[in-house]
């Protein structure tokens, strides 16, 4: 269970009106029109074949989040981890082959802490019961679930382009590690990694805003506390983190956003301005001159953050999708329909130091 940190005191960062105007003009100039759709995807793909799809998912997600609000961040994270490795084709949902050692996305170190797979499978079962076997892909369900997780915790409503098909193979451990940004990386590395996937600096900062909900394990940030404290971390905040994580390998978690846990808003960016970001990859967004103004703009304007976040989520959700006759629509999200064996190789270790930041 995540421990709540109460910061007894923090400084408020003042921003001049002139600076804000410049930043707002800059970001508004970057504002993109609605993301173009990848060929094969559409806004109304299931209008005739499964018209109740989104209502089925929303009603069930309301029950899921009411029972365990922490699943909102977990299910959003599943979508992130799926899309960044091999594209948004549901490969992270696949179990390994039935025989021999397993080397799959799901068992790679960054994904060992993922949860919510049962929620997606339950929804697949409900949807297929309503609309027929093979009617809706697991990857489309995952994308819609991520959107609902955002909305049901206070975030923006938006339409999800659909029509994805499911992949039939998963990525290897090494491929997974290579494609998921680590919580330890500085902004320069994060920007380079995301630029390679087609995201600019504003989009990178917006994507990081997903950390307004969710938790981090002590091992993801205690290198900022021990043996010496990171100078970019507020002292009171650091002392509170040390209570949660008295040693560098304590098995505990803390909320990523100390101001509004389990609420999808812009307070995560306010945390960063006050040197209260938990992860290195988060706090460095405000330390780095290339992204500081973007963080500030999102911190003072939630509407702007929501607009940019929706835009980049739609863009991310179309990464390397399979459509048409590509892939398949799985009858079970964790298994291929075909009889072919999924690639399986030995995993050398489960080094949790490589857990991803997204």
- Residues labelled as active-site residues: 81
* Cβ proximity of 152 and 263 under 8 Å: no
Q: From CA 134, how far away is CA 321, in angstroms rounded?
A: 18
* Cβ proximity of 165 and 322 under 8 Å: yes
Q: Sheet containing 253-255: which strands, arranged edge to edge?
A: 2-3, 253-255, 215-217
Q: What distance, in Å, lies between the first and last C-alpha atoms of the chain?
A: 19
Q: From CA 177, how far away is CA 163, in angstroms rounded?
A: 28
Q: From CA 60, how far away is CA 55, in angstroms rounded?
A: 8
Q: From CA 13, how far away is CA 208, in angstroms rounded?
A: 20
Q: From CA 313, how far away is CA 155, in angstroms rounded?
A: 12
| b (16+ CB within 10 A) / e for 308-337 | bbbbbbbbbbbbebbbeeebbbbeebbebe
Pairing of β 215-217 and β 2-3:
unpaired
String of DSSP letters for 66-111: HH-THHHHHHHHHHHHHHHTT-SSSGGG----SSS----TTTSGGG
* Angle (CA) 61 65 69, round 5°: 155
* Angle (CA) 337 344 357, round 5°: 95
Rounded to the nearest 10 degrees, how much is the dihedral formed by the CA atoms of 31, 183, 72, 246?
A: -140
């Amino acid at each position: 269970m995540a421990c709540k940190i109460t910061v007894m005191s923090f400084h408020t960062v003042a921003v001049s009106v002139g600076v804000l105007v410049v930043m707002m003009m800059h970001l508004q100039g970057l504002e993109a029109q609605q993301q173009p759709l990848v060929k094969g995807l559409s806004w109304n793909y299931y209008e005739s074949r499964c018209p109740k799809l989104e209502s089925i998912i929303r009603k069930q997600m309301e029950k899921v989040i009411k029972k365990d609000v922490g699943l909102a961040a977990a299910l959003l994270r599943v979508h992130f981890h799926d899309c960044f490795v091999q594209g948004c084709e549901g490969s992270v949902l696949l179990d390994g082959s039935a025989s021999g050692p397993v080397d799959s996305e799901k068992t790679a170190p960054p994904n060992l802490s993922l949860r919510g797979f049962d929620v997606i499978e339950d929804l697949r079962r409900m949807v297929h019961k309503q609309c027929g076997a093979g009617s809706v892909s697991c990857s489309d369900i995952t994308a819609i679930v991520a959107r609902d997780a955002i909305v049901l915790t206070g975030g923006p409503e938006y339409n999800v382009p659909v029509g994805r098909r499911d992949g039939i193979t998963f990525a290897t451990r090494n491929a997974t590690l290579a494609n998921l940004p680590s919580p330890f990386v500085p902004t320069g590395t994060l920007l380079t990694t995301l630029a390679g996937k087609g995201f600019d600096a504003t989009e990178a900062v917006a994507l990081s805003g997903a950390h307004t909900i969710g938790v981090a394990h002590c091992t993801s940030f205690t290198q900022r506390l021990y043996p010496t404290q990171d100078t970019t971390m507020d002292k009171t905040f650091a002392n509170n983190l040390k209570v949660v994580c008295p040693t560098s390998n304590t098995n505990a978690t803390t909320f990523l956003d100390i101001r509004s846990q389990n609420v999808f808003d812009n307070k995560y960016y306010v945390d960063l301005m006050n040197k209260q970001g938990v992860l290195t990859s988060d706090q460095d967004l405000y330390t780095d001159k290339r992204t500081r103004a973007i963080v500030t703009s999102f911190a003072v304007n939630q509407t702007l953050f929501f607009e940019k976040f929706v835009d980049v989520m739609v863009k991310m959700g179309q990464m390397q999708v399979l459509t048409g006759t590509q892939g398949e629509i799985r009858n079970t999200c964790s298994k291929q329909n075909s009889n072919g064996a999924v690639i399986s190789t030995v995993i050398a270790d489960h080094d949790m130091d490589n857990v991803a930041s997204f």
